[in-house]
Structure 1
Amino acid sequence: MNILKQYWQNYISAYKGLSKATWLLALVMFINQSGSMVLPFLGVYMATVLDFSLQNAGIVLSMFGVGSILGSFIGGWLTDQFGSFKIQVCSLFGSIPFFLIVPLFNTFENLCVAIFFLSLIKELFRPANSASVSFYAKPENITRAFSLNRMALNLGYSIGPAIGGFLAAVSYNFLFYANACMSFIAGTLFIIYFKNRAGNAPKKVIAEKAATVAKVKSAYTDGVFLIFSFFIAIYAFCFFQILNTLPLFYKNVAFMNEKEVGLLMGFNGIVVFVLEMALVHFAEKKFTLSANMIIGSLFCGAAFLVLIPSHSQLILFSSIFLISISEILIMPFASTVAVNRSLPANRGSYMGLNGISFSIAFITSPLLGTYIAENFGFTNLWIVNCTMIAITSIGFYFIMKKI
C-alpha cells in the first residue's frame, strides 16, 4: 500500500506547474493520435487485402519513412521561418484529403506515391509541435511537458489501434476515413485556442547561449548533436519494429486476428499513459540524462530478446511492456537534449533533426526488417535488433558525456 501511495503522490506531483497551453497541446495531440489507426495496420492491410509480398509491403512502409524525413526537415525549416502555429494548421488540415484518397490506390507503385505524400504532409506537424511544447512550457518543466504531450500521444495510440482493429474487421477503408475526421477535429481545436496566443520567451537562456549561436547556427552543423542523432536513429530502427514487423509477426507467427493485434498494440499506449509522467518525474530526479538514455535503450533490447525462445501470449504482452518502458525513458529525454542544445531562433532545425532521426527508421525499419524476416526468419531479426541496441547503449554512454 505504501508503494501505491508513493506512486500516486509522485504521479500527481508530475503534473504540477504545467501550463494550460501545455495541456491544450496535449489534448490536440490526443485527438489527432486517436485517429492514427492506419500505420499499425498498413502492413497487414497490404499483405492480406492487397496481397503484397512482405518485401513490397516493406518498401511501401519505407516510403512513409522517406516522406517523414523530408517532412521533418521541411517542417523544421518552415517552423523557423513562419512559426509553429501556421505549420501545424497546414499539416493537420493538409493531411485530410490524402487520408481520403489513399484507399483508392491499390497498386504497388501508386500506393508508394500516396503514402509518401501523406507522410510528408503529416510529418510537418512534428517539429512544429515540439517547438510549440518548448515555447508554451515553463523552462523548468520542459521534460515533463514533452512527457505530457507523449502521454497524450500514447493514450490516443492505445485507443486508435484498439478501435482500428474492429474497424478493420469490417473494412480497412474505415481506418483512413477515421484518421481524416480526427485530423479535422484536432485542427479545429488547435486554431480556436492557439491563434494569437503568446508563449514563454526565455531571454535569459538566449543571453547565456549567445556564444553557442555564434558557432552553431543550425542543428545540421552541430557535430555532437549529429552523432547523438545517429544513435537515436539506430535505436528507432529497433523500436519502430512495433509498427511494421511486430504486427506481421503477431499475424503470421502468433496467429492473432486483427482484433487481437489491435488490443495488443493498444496495450503499449495504456502502459505509457499509466506510467510515463510518474516514471519520467522519478527518472528526472534520480538519474542523469545519460543514464536514462542507456537504460531506456536496454529495455528495448530486452523486449526483442524475450521473443526469441517463445511467442506465448504472456511473452507477447511482456515484450510490449518492456518496449513501452523503453519508449518512456528515451522519447521525452531525447527531445530534452534537442531543446537544451538549441535556442528559440534555431529550435525548429533541432526538432526537425530529432524528427529525422526517427524518420530514418521509418525507412530502414520496415525495409530491412521485412527483408530479414522474409529471408532469414523473425528470430534472426530479433537477434539483429538486440545487437544494434547493444551498440546504441555504448554509443549513448560516450556521446552523452559530451552533451
Structure 2
Amino acid sequence: MGLFRVYVDSFKGLSKEAWMLSIVMLINRSGSMVLPFLGVYMTDKLGFGLKEAGLVLMFYGIGSVIGSWIGGYLTDKLGEYRVQSFSLFLSAPLFMFIPFFPTLEGMMSIILIQSIISESFRPANSVAITKYARPENITRAFSLNRMAINLGFSIGPALGGILSAISYNFLFGVNTVAALVAGIMYVVFFRKRNIIFKAKQKLRKKEDIIKPVGKSPYKDVKFIIFSLLCMLFSICFFQFFNTIPIFYKEVAHLDQTSIGYILGYSGFIIVVLEMLIVNFAEKHFTIGQTLFVGALACGISYSLLAFDHHIFTLLLSMTILSVGEILALPFMSTVTAMRSEGGNKGAYMGLNGMAFSFSFIITPILGTNVASELGFNTLWIGSGIILAIAAVGLWWISNLMLQNKKSEH
C-alpha cells in the first residue's frame, strides 16, 4: 500500500497538457512497430544481407539527424504546435508507401524521407513539455512522456510480432492509422491552447518582459561535449532497435512473436518502474550520479549477452537495460532543458536530438558490420566497455555544467 501511494504521488503536480502530450505520444508510438522489425523485414521478406539492412537503417539515422535539426529550427521559428501537427499528418501516409520500395535504393530513399518528417516531431515535443511543465516537475514530465512512449512500444512490438507473422503489410497500415489518430487528438486538444498562449506571448512582448534569446547551443562547448557523450551512449544503447532483434532471430533462434514479446517486456518494465525510480533518484542522487549508474547498467546488460543467450539471460539483460534507460534518458532531457534559456529551447533540443539521431546512422552499419565480421560476442563486450566510458564522462560533464550554470548565466 505504501509503495502504491508513492507511485500515485509521483504523478502529482503534472499538468493536463503534459498528460495529453503523453496520451498523443502513446497512440503514436503504439503504432511504431516498424523500426524494431525493419531489420527483420529486410532480411526475412526482402532477402537483404546484414550489411544491406544496416545500410538502409543508416539512412534512417541520416534522416533522423536532418529531422532533428529542422525540427529544432522550425520550432523556434514557427512554434512547437505547428511542427508537431505537420510531422504527425505528413508522416502517416509515408508508412503505407514502404512496401512499394522493395529494392535497396528504394528502401534507402523512402526511409530517409519518412525519417526526416517523423523525427522533426521530437524536438518540438520536448519543447512542448518544457512549455507546459512547472520547472520543478520537468524531469517527471519527461518521464511521463517516456512512460507513454514505452507503453506504446510495449503494445506495438508485441502486436507487430503477431501481425508480421501474418503479413508485414499490417505493420505499415497500423502505423499509418496510429499517426493519423495521434495527429487529430493533438490538434483538437492543443489548437485553442496554442492560440491563447500566442496571445499571452504577444502581450509579454509589448510589456518587454519576455526573456531574450540565449546563446547558440553550437557555441556552448560544455553542452557540445555533453551531447557528444549522449551520442556515444546512444550508439550502443539503440542497438535495441536493430542489432538486438537480428541477434534474437539469428543467434537465439526466436520467432517474430517471441521477439515482439521481449521488446514489449522492456516497455512494460519501464511503464511500471519509471516514475518510481525517477522519483527516488531525484530525492537521493545528483543528476550526475544518476546518469553514471544508468549508462553503466546499460553496459552491463549488453555484456551479459556475450556469455549466454538462454531466454532467462535475455530477460535479465533486458530488465537491466530498461532500468538503465530509466536512469539515463529522462535526466539527459532535463540537463538539456536546464541548459537552454529564452527563445532557443528548440535549438538546444534539436542539437541534443541530433546527437541521438547520429546513433541511427552509426549504430546499424557499425553494429551489423561488427556482428558480421567479428561476431556478436565482440559487439556486446565492446558495447559494455564504451558505455562504461560514457558513464564516467556523463557524470563529469553534467556536474560541471550544473555547478557552473549560475555563474555562466
TM-score, normalised with respect to structure 2 = 0.93
Aligned equivalent of 2:405: none
The match for 2:384 is 386
- Shift of the 267–232 alpha-carbon distance from structure 1 to 2, 3 Å rule, reads same
Of 190, 197, 204, the match for 1:194: 190
Matches for 1:297-316 after TM superposition, within 5 Å: 297-316=295-314
Task: Give the Cα separation in 1 of the matches to 2:331 and 2:391.
Answer: 15
Where does residue 51 of structure 2 map in the other structure?
A: 55
Structure 1 residues 208 and 400: alpha-carbon distance in aligned structure 2, compared to 1, 3 A threshold: farther
* Identical-pair percentage: 47
From 16, 24, 48, the counterpart of 1:20 = 16
Note if 1:254 corresponds to 2:270.
no
Aligned with residue 9 of structure 1, among 5, 8, 19: 5
2:327 aligned with 1:334: no
Residues 208 and 401 of structure 1, relative CA distance in 2, 3 Å threshold: farther
Task: Provide Cα deviations, 1:265-315, integer angstroms capped at 9, x if missing partner.
Answer: 000100000000111011011100100110000010011111111000000
RMSD after superposition: 1.6
CA distance in 1 between partners of 2:273 and 2:395 (Å): 25
Paired position in structure 1 for 2:321:
323
Uncovered stretches (5+) of structure 1, i.e. residues with no partner: none
Q: Is 1:93 aligned to residue 89 of structure 2?
A: yes
CA drift at 1:208:
12
| 1:238 and 1:365 in contact (8 A); partners too | yes
**What SS does structure 2 have at the residue aligned with 1:195?**
helix
Which runs of structure 2 are paired with 1:2-401 in the superposition (5 Å)?
5-197=1-193, 198=196, 217-401=215-399
* 1:244-280, Cα deviation, whole Å (9 max, x unpaired): 0000000000000000000000001000000001110
Q: CA deviation at 1:7?
A: 2.4
Q: Cα distance, 1:344 vs. partner?
A: 4.1
Deviating runs (4+, > 2 A) in structure 1? 198-201, 206-210
- Per-residue deviation, 1:397: 2.6
Structure 1 Cα separation of the partners of residues 41 and 141 of structure 2: 35
Deviation at 1:223, TM superposition (A): 0.7
Inter-partner Cα distance in structure 2 for 1:79 and 1:397: 30
Distance in 1, matches of 2:328 and 2:209, equals 29
Deviations 1:83-118 (A, max 9, x none): 000000000000012111111000001100110000
Q: For residues 207 and 360 of structure 1, do their structure 2 counterparts lie closer, same or farther at Cα, with a shift above 3 Å needed?
A: farther
Say which SS state the counterpart of residue 331 (structure 2) adopts: helix
Residue 10 of structure 1: how far off its partner (Å): 1.7
Q: How far apart are the structure 2 equivalents of 1:143 and 1:393?
A: 19
Query: Residues of 2 paired with 1:319 and 1:6: CA distance?
Result: 29
Could you tell me which amino acid in structure 2 is paired with residue 176 of structure 1? F
User: Matches of 2:151 and 2:80 in 1, distance apart?
Assistant: 23
AA aligned to 1:370 is T
Report the number of matched residues: 392
Unaligned runs of 5+ in 2: 402-409
Structure 2 distance, partners of 1:399, 1:145, is 23
Letter in 2 for 1:77: Y
Conserved 8 A contact 2:232-2:386: yes
Question: 1:400 deviation in Å?
Answer: 1.8
Q: What is the deviation of 1:357?
A: 1.2
Q: How far apart in 2 are the matches of 1:41 and 1:292?
A: 31
Distance in 2 between the 1:397 and 1:18 partners?
Answer: 28
| Cα distance in 2, alignment partners of residues 358 and 307 from structure 1 | 23
Which AA in structure 1 matches 2:19?
A: W
How far off is 1:196 after superposition?
2.9
Q: Decide whether the 8 Å contact of 1:10 with 1:282 is kept in 2.
A: no
Give SS of 1:401's match. helix
CA distance in 1, matches of 2:158, 2:171: 11
How far apart, in 2, do the equivalents of 1:381 and 1:372 lie?
A: 6
Contact 2:287 2:399 (C-alpha < 8 Å) held by counterparts: no
Question: Given residue 139 of structure 1, which amino acid in structure 2 is its aligned partner?
Answer: P
Measure the CA separation in 2 of the matches of 1:80 and 1:208: 14
Matches of 1:82 and 1:361, distance apart in 2: 27
